[in-house]
Amino acid sequence: MVAQLTGKVAMITGAGSGFGRALSLAFAREGASIGACDINLATAQETVSMLESEGGQATVVEVDVSVADQVDAAVTKIVAAHERIDILVNCAGINGRSSVVDMEEHDFRRIVEVNVVGTFLTNRAVARQMIAQGTGGKIVNFASGRGLSGSENNSHYAASKGGVLAFTYSIGMELSRHGINVNAINPGQTDTGMTRRPGNDIQRLESLMGPDVPPHRRVGVPEDVVGPVLFLVTDASSHMYGKYLSARGG
Ligand X SMILES: NC(=O)c1ccc[n+]([C@@H]2O[C@H](COP(=O)([O-])OP(=O)(O)OC[C@H]3O[C@@H](n4cnc5c(N)ncnc54)[C@H](O)[C@@H]3O)[C@@H](O)[C@H]2O)c1
Nearer Cβ to ligand X (79/94): 94
Give CA–CA dist 125/208, Å, rounded.
36
Reference 31, options 1, 53, 8; nearest CA is: 8
Give CA–CA dist 9/78, Å, rounded.
9
- Rg of the chain's alpha carbons, rounded to an integer? 17
Sign of the four-CA dihedral 82, 83, 86, 88: positive
The yes-or-no answer on residue 241 being catalytic is no
The distance of closest approach from Cβ of residue 191 to ligand X in the complex, given in angstroms and rounded to an integer, is 7
The distance of closest approach from Cβ of residue 130 to ligand X in the complex, given in angstroms and rounded to an integer, is 20
The distance of closest approach from Cβ of residue 64 to ligand X in the complex, given in angstroms and rounded to an integer, is 4
Nearer Cβ to ligand X (45/133): 45
Nearer Cβ to ligand X (6/207): 207
Reference 86, options 193, 8, 21; nearest CA is: 8
Secondary structure of residue 190 in the 3-state scheme:
strand
Residue 207 and residue 164 in contact, taking contact as beta carbons nearer than 8 Å:
no
Secondary structure of residue 16 in the 3-state scheme:
coil
In 124-239 the beta strands, taken as DSSP E runs, fall at 137-142, 180-187
Q: Which of 8, 10, 18, 156 binds ligand X (CB under 6 A)?
A: 18
Stretch that binds ligand X, among 99-107, 120-128, 129-137, 192-200 (CB under 6 A): 192-200
Footprint on residues 19-78 left by ligand X (CB under 6 A): 19-20, 38-40, 43, 63-66
The distance of closest approach from Cβ of residue 187 to ligand X in the complex, given in angstroms and rounded to an integer, is 4
Which position's Cβ is nearest ligand X? 18
Decide if residue 123 touches ligand X (CB under 6 A): no
The residues annotated as belonging to the active site are 157
Binding region for ligand X (CB under 6 A): 13-14, 16-20, 38-40, 43, 63-66, 91-95, 114, 118, 142, 144, 187, 189-190, 192-195
